[in-house]
Copies of this chain bind each other. A is one copy, B any other.
């Protein structure tokens, strides 16, 4: 196979890949980075082949790396080799993986979502931590959610941190971005129960009357959900808070609630 060897840090392809660690460059190029054999294999197996595949020189041979290379070349993409130290600079990780890929970003239009395709959807409002977004994607995969809807000004789900935390779920969960007004308009144009954890006029989260398709929403890490958004929910639930704190980590709240909804709808 033809593999271009990349040696210098000033190489334009290295600079391009590295630039994708920044949101403005991802936005301009419409592309993002993912790293690691497991993640890239998940991507391949779900029909997502990188346009550009970077392999570390001196890596152990592996049938899954061979499969990736073949998929990329069959799709007309490019395969590069570079020193592990250079690949580490690209991905910004101390402990570099042997492979990284550049993918085209997916469409994130709300109107392209088919709400009837899943019983549960996760909704994040102004979530600022890309690790939390990635973890929500991973949880969404586990509970059989259809995808993640990002409301207002959220972190970028295509950031290296979010992609890494998603453990591949960024390739399998649907993603949509919308303003609150757009989301509310879309939601009310069809079936859908909007649920959030709340301290106001709420019922216990265990045994609450969840219905599909159920949209489980969590708010910003420090502010929580705006009061008007909570008021717009069809169901407000509380989770026990036995200690001093009055809230959970956002990704944890989404998971505890998401698993409860799953058990309720399955039961």
Contacts and interface: CB of A to CB of B under 8 A. Distances in A.
Nearest to A143: B242
Interface residues of A, number: 36
Nearest to A262: B240
Interface stretch (A52-60, A79-87, A162-170): A162-170
A46 interface: yes
Given A131-B131, A255-B255, A256-B256, A139 B248 contact: yes
A141 interface: yes
Contacts of A236: none
Contacts of A144: 240, 242-243
A249 B135 contact: yes
A137 to B, nearest CB: 10
Contact of A139 (B169, B206, B249): B249
B243 A142 contact: yes
A248 B206 contact: no
A149 interface: no
